[in-house]
Amino acid sequence: MATVAEWLRAGDDLPGDSPRRDSEILLSHVLGKSRTWLYTWPESPVDTAHATVLARLLQQRRDGVPVAYLTGQREFWSLPLQVNKATLIPRPETETLVEWALELVLPAAAAVLDLGTGSGAIALALASERADWEVVAVDASADALAIARANGEQLCPGRVRFVQSDWFSALPGNSWDLIVSNPPYVESDSPYLERGDLRFEPRGALVSGASGLEDITRLAAAAPHHLRPGGWVLLEHGHRQGAAVRGLLQAADLEQVITRCDLAGHERITGARRAD
């Protein structure tokens, strides 16, 4: 019967930049133990039932399946979010958008809209930090919205309203102090779609036409009609799309158009404000 230490070493051939970390996550998930426990009790035997599950998960990881889909969970803004193949896997760079949103001077009971919420990551992060904000999260995918609702019930019960909608279509006449979105922004012929985790994530949440900008173009043009005076829109985008997104927001007659970089130094979030 193999030990914890032997199972950790068994994952040293996993793909990606952090095979040992992936092994730790999968072993902790299967055993229901913390990473600290794994290294405190490395000689503990792993029984046959757990070993069978672990061997299957390690093979799926070797085949490229993202760890988040294997465990059904990914942490974002310190929130343990459920994820599955209907949702994008939340990424650290999106926390840059959350940080910016929380810095804005908005009404105490600001009306906030998260477009294309996926797992609910952005909406729930904001709701967890601003109890008085009225947060609505929409997604066109019923399957993704089911995951977002489950996350909402678990992490911020009653704090976010979830609506199935193709962008603004199910919310006519509503206006917002803040609109946030991590929309699709990958080019349809991008080679990145065949690499890493992106191979397994929903194409509809990734791809936005040949330019990668079809959805952002639509959102930028619509934003002024849905923002309240003084309201802000914050959009995540590809690291080479900053100039194009600034141009789209300026063309929509929004002001204070600014781009912020993620922790890697890449242009990642562009925001703009509607005039008072």
Annotated binding site for substrate: 182-185
Binding residues for S-adenosyl-L-methionine: 116-120, 139, 167, 182
Binding residues: 116-120, 139, 167, 182-185
C-beta of residue 240 within 8 angstroms of C-beta of residue 228: no
Rounded to whole angstroms, the Cα distance separating 231 from 122 reads 18
Tokens of 215: 């959805």
Q: Concatenate the DSSP letters of all residues of the chain into one string.
A: --BHHHHHHHTTT-SSS-HHHHHHHHHHHHHT--HHHHHHSTTPBPPHHHHHHHHHHHHHHHTT--HHHHHTEEEETTEEEE--TTSPPP-GGGHHHHHHHHHS---TT-EEEEES-TTTHHHHHHHHH-TT-EEEEEES-HHHHHHHHHHHHHHSTTTEEEEE-STTTT-TT--EEEEEE----B-TT-GGGGSGGGGTS-GGGTB-TTTS-HHHHHHHHHHHHHEEEEEEEEEE--TT-HHHHHHHHHHTT-EEEEEEE-TTS-EEEEEEE---
